[in-house]
Amino acid sequence: MKRLNIACVTLLTLLLPIAHAAGDADLRPCVDMQNKATAERELDCYRQIASDSPSADQTSKPILSARATGLEQEWAPSNATLVTHKLNYALIYAKSSQTNNAPGSPNPQNQVLTALPQDDRDMKVQLSMKHDLADFDRYGSLWAGYTLLSFWQVYDESHSRPFRENNYEPELIYSINPNQMFGESRLNPSILNIGVVHQSNGQANPRSRSWNRIYVQTGIERNFPGDRKLVVLVRGWKRISEDISTDDNPDITHYLGHGDIELRYSQNKYWEATLTLKSRSAQLDLAAPWTAWRLLTLASPGKHNTNIHLHYFSGYGESLIDYNQRHDTWGVGLSFPFE
């Protein structure tokens, strides 16, 4: 019996930190049992509280995680429900050099015959997340991604501030870390992604635009003095062919090409510049916390959850409805932390 009591006391000592996290109110029934019940019953009470309390892994699991530092970490298995995929921003003011009042396409079914005047100002918003579906240890991981790009005519009061365009982009991505799969080598890229992606604007003819692609993406990164980092991502894609009679945009690859290059240059978590190049377009994004711009003099020097975001686009395909129209757009707004 003496050995049993010693064992019970030892177990209680181990369980008390967990039980204490549940709060004094939850512990009260067990405390009241002291000197009134057997050690076994008292131990069962603490066991029950410990089993009902959420574990550290459960309580610390984030719903949304910012993009990790470095490509290998960015595509490493994550316990977060959602992880940042592409840039996430809200441009409060975005002005275009040319509006697309009558969008067209080589397919006669996709010709807008009645022009609708558009405001040259939008609120441009991009939300992009991914979810870790399955992990295969050294053989990579499977991800589901989703990007929503919206153009809101918030300044067009006369037409009841409509959404001019929404682009929906779900994708499935198999990501490989070559160093883990094939062994360490200086010749290996940091990551290798193979994906299938659908993009559409969800509209009916004649404004319907959509296409499907399979792609391969690879990337490398280099570190420089002063906590600076350069990331280079190169992606090539092949459009999945469609019936010519129902193809909304049969010449889309003529304007958007067969791939893109993304360059990221950043200094730790202080600022990041992103340049995305396609065959006939370029997009530049520059993001930094409030204090880096010296626009919020009363802000503390600590961490911030929001960046000031500057944006510039030039060329074809800013949105699907504008895939064959060339224009320039500049904007300013806010973005989520990039790391």
Active site residues: 198, 200
Count the neighbouring beta carbons within 10 Å of the beta carbon of residue 101. Answer: 11
Q: Sign of the CA dihedral 111, 117, 121, 122?
A: negative
Segment (H or E) for 15: helix 2-21
Query: What one-letter code names the amino acid at 38?
Result: T
- How far apart CA 83 and CA 63 sit, in angstroms, is 8
Q: What are the residues whose beta carbons fall under 8 Å from the beta carbon of 217, sequence distance 6 or more? A: 191, 192, 193, 194, 195, 233, 234, 235, 236
Instruction: Note whether 234 and 263 are within 8 A (CB).
Output: no
Instruction: Note whether 256 and 320 are within 8 A (CB).
Output: no
Segment (H or E) for 256: helix 252-256
Query: What one-letter code names the amino acid at 249?
Result: N
- How far apart CA 269 and CA 265 sit, in angstroms, is 11
Angle 82-88-89 from CA coordinates, rounded to 5°: 150
DSSP structure class, residue 18: H
